[in-house]
Structure 1
Amino acid sequence: MKISFKADTVLALTVLFLLLFGLIMITSIGVPKSISLSAPDVLYPNCSDGKVDCYLLFKNHLVRLGIGLASFFIAFKVSIKIWKKLATPLYGIAVFLLFLILIFGRSFGTIATNWLLFFNTSFQPSELAKLALVIYLAYWLSKKQSSVESFKDGLIP
């Protein structure tokens, strides 16, 4: 029996294209911001100057992209049984981080205070909350597999 992986290939190529497109965009539009972040005290910054890092945002993005890809491959290799065990604690941690935003949230020039500073980088707990919610709902619906067909029995807690 031959199994077709056409959809997986298309999805993987689409993700790869979006990652490369993001790197190109960060490189092309991030130079002025990189200059202002790396050398705010230089009056006339130049990329050939040793103090100025014209690709600071690109380098930061590349590091975060590497962390994200490594996390993806690690999560891909984790057994479904472990994800089921982690669903509730992960959801609890996400809700706790969302409450921390109310106390320690930072705005970074916007009205919304939905960022937390974490080891010299900013972090949006809402992104983790989305992932945790999907994992928790998948776990919850897998427990109610026999009664999911009925709205009353399957989706109402």
Structure 2
Amino acid sequence: MTSVLRHRYGRVLGSGILCAALLSGGTAGAFAASPSPTDNGSASPTGDKSPTGTASPSPTGKTSITVTAGKSSVKAGDMVTFTGRTKGLKVGSPLVLQHEKNGKWTALKATAKVKTGNSYALAAKLNTKGDEHLRVASVTKEGKVFSPTVTVKVN
């Protein structure tokens, strides 16, 4: 029993260190522009993704969200941590992870709030096998802001 607890604490500590390292890496992730009034909520205009799961930069606006997936490939049912930074959003602003399903963006149960330093981290369990297209969204009275899309392969 003690051995199991040590392994669990080790995993939690390791994932915490990984999150801290990713967040302290600066704004190496991509930036997303706030959508134009004619935007219908579709994916980022660039749609480009690097092999590591970080989206490529798109033009920046007043507000933006970056996102990086902790893993680019997982087994069905595994947790994936998403980290990033925001620009132009107030501390405490709500963020939600969305995935594209049948051409529409739907919210998952993974939520977070913008922390001091404009960073965030959220975790989601991905159950549907195949390529999951994900983004982080913020909907405030000032408007909607979406991160670029990242892809995680679920086996």
TM-score normalised by the chain length of structure 1: 0.32
> Which structure is higher in helix share?
1
Larger Rg: 1
Structure of greater relative contact order (alpha carbons < 8 Å, 6+ residues apart): 2
> Which structure is higher in strand share?
2
